[in-house]
A and B are shown apart, each in its own frame.
Chain A
């Protein structure tokens, strides 16, 4: 690869990296300038949660986008998207514990074990943790086939996350509906594509990008 191409790629990487960080920076700025209204705690928690979901959905969209439009470029950034999901989800829980519960362990434990919506959210974050830890290339190599099976956990995580949203709806279900429809499509597309064409595709040399082979 020549140097110019490498530089462009590095530039794109940095662009995506800083763009993904922007919501957190804006939130921090608004928090410092006290621009978050009467309940900044809830605002921060909700915003961080929303971005965690957005990144999760984006990382799930990488494969369908590749199959539909033949765009392979996003694949290079899937790890980053997944890690950003983990980043925002972790901050989401930390913000909840700090700003809303004030680290009152009794209440925190109660919330995370007794409130169904909080329980599924917490489990989702726990399940995300091994995925984040094993996201490095060396881990990928070390785990070999198991890596793929492990990272299929993401489908379960996504469903748990959707429940986490749905169980908090009071009256307005539009957000839950859009995320639900998107997830349904993202998962259904995989299922639909897997059955008929898996054989033919598996042999294509181009498919051999790390962690992508879906055949058994």
Chain B
């Protein structure tokens, strides 16, 4: 498999950015018109129902093609009722864009997610920087429905589109020294205003990590879309991690760096409040957050007179797939 590295591309081959953007904008506007003229065909893009009047995110044309060709994964479906598209794209924790749940949907709309580069480094045979298009090129996109349990005790059910993390990581041929994978979010205070804020306790850029066997578990997923659309910026476009057996904050958004390491990465929340957030952050109803209970969760959207409070399951209901990874570990200690 040929993976083009940035340095191997002649500058003459590279389309001038203004022209590139013009093209993309043309395609985008054409798509928007098409969508307006024939909205049923857009809905047909996926089998899910999207509420009328909601903003859609077609994304760049190359991604759109991949999204169209995506297939449902037969195994990773859920019996749970889906959280409506409207709520998935308007209720987000993405502190780089603001601390309120509604801030990301408001402030991330002009976030530039294409072109996008992902840098792979550390203990691998094939490091390099890749355009997202090349990064994803060898893979078919799949649709998977996962539950997402936030550490704040609410949860959603989301149909993601993306690729299994293991398939991607293997391509770069991690060496025997690679014990962990570390992910880093873009650091760009001009686009992500809260990275300049004086009132947050988090260190930027946001960093998350997985142990190698966790990363290689078939459940671990890199998402590029949801509800058959490309990822909206507020949901972590253009590339985010989805690890459904862990609390939501492990699902790092807008990834620009993937580094293979021998030592356990220092993930952002763990660094900020080690007593409250660990490295593993597996969903565990038996271990409360020091300030609130994790025994139950509210499945969103929650109706006013039916709070939708349900019991939280160990590993968010994915124990069968992942519990073996933690055999012999005291999970009250390794939070």
| Chain A residues in the interface with B (C-beta under 8 A) | 31, 37-41, 44, 98-102, 104, 107, 110-111, 114-117, 167-168, 170-174, 177
A39 touches B309 (CB 8 A): no
Q: Does B43 contact A (CB under 8 A)?
A: no
Of all chain B residues, the one with the shortest Cβ separation from A99 is B304
B202 touches A100 (CB 8 A): no
How many A-B residue pairs have C-beta atoms within 8 angstroms? Tell me. Answer: 77
Q: Determine the chain B residues whose CB is within 8 A of the CB of A44 once the complex forms.
A: 304
B202 touches A171 (CB 8 A): yes
Q: Which of A37, A101, A167, A171 contacts B309 (CB 8 A)?
A: A101
Q: Which of B200, B301, B302, B306 contacts A172 (CB 8 A)?
A: B200
Of all chain B residues, the one with the shortest Cβ separation from A107 is B296
In Å, the complex CA distance between A114 and B301 comes to 26
Q: Which of B272, B301, B304 contacts A171 (CB 8 A)?
A: B272
Q: Determine the chain B residues whose CB is within 8 A of the CB of A102 once the complex forms.
A: 305-307, 309
B91 touches A115 (CB 8 A): no
In Å, the complex CA distance between A44 and B272 comes to 29
27 contacts between A and B (CB under 8 A): A37-B87, A37-B101, A37-B102, A38-B83, A38-B300, A39-B300, A39-B301, A98-B305, A99-B304, A99-B305, A99-B307, A100-B298, A100-B302, A100-B307, A101-B307, A102-B307, A111-B293, A115-B292, A115-B293, A117-B291, A168-B291, A170-B152, A171-B201, A171-B272, A172-B197, A173-B201, A174-B197
Q: Determine the chain A residues whose CB is within 8 A of the CB of B199 once the complex forms.
A: 172-174, 177
Q: Determine the chain A residues whose CB is within 8 A of the CB of B298 once the complex forms.
A: 39, 41, 100
Q: Determine the chain A residues whose CB is within 8 A of the CB of B291 once the complex forms.
A: 115-117, 167-168
Nearest-Cβ distance from residue A104 to partner chain B, whole angstroms: 7
Q: Determine the chain A residues whose CB is within 8 A of the CB of B201 once the complex forms.
A: 171, 173
Q: Does B154 contact A (CB under 8 A)?
A: yes
Of all chain B residues, the one with the shortest Cβ separation from A95 is B304
In Å, the complex CA distance between A100 and B307 comes to 5
Nearest-Cβ distance from residue B298 to partner chain A, whole angstroms: 7
Q: Does B111 contact A (CB under 8 A)?
A: no
B87 touches A38 (CB 8 A): yes
B101 touches A39 (CB 8 A): yes
In Å, the complex CA distance between A110 and B201 comes to 29
Q: Determine the chain A residues whose CB is within 8 A of the CB of B91 once the complex forms.
A: 37-39
Known contacts A41-B298, A115-B292; A171/B99 CB under 8 A: yes
Interface size on B, residues (CB 8 A): 30
Known contacts A37-B87, A38-B301; A110/B293 CB under 8 A: yes
In Å, the complex CA distance between A210 and B272 comes to 49
Q: Does B90 contact A (CB under 8 A)?
A: yes
Q: Determine the chain A residues whose CB is within 8 A of the CB of B101 once the complex forms.
A: 37-39
Of all chain A residues, the one with the shortest Cβ separation from B202 is A171
Nearest-Cβ distance from residue B158 to partner chain A, whole angstroms: 12
Nearest-Cβ distance from residue B7 to partner chain A, whole angstroms: 38
Q: Determine the chain A residues whose CB is within 8 A of the CB of B293 once the complex forms.
A: 107, 110-111, 114-115
In Å, the complex CA distance between A11 and B99 comes to 40
Q: Which of A38, A98, A171 contacts B90 (CB 8 A)?
A: A38
Of all chain B residues, the one with the shortest Cβ separation from A104 is B309
Q: Does B172 contact A (CB under 8 A)?
A: no
Provide the B126-166 mask, 1 if CB < 8 A to any CB of A, else 0.
00000000000000000000000000101000000000000
A41 touches B304 (CB 8 A): yes
Of all chain B residues, the one with the shortest Cβ separation from A177 is B199
Interface residues of B in 67-98 (CB under 8 A from A): 83, 86-87, 90-91, 95
Provide the B186-197 mask, 1 if CB < 8 A to any CB of A, else 0.
000000000001
Of all chain A residues, the one with the shortest Cβ separation from B95 is A171
Q: Determine the chain A residues whose CB is within 8 A of the CB of B86 once the complex forms.
A: 38
A31 touches B304 (CB 8 A): yes
In Å, the complex CA distance between A31 and B197 comes to 31
Q: Determine the chain B residues whose CB is within 8 A of the CB of A98 once the complex forms.
A: 304-305
Of all chain A residues, the one with the shortest Cβ separation from B307 is A102
Interface core residue of B202, B291, B309 (most chain A CB under 10 Å):
B291
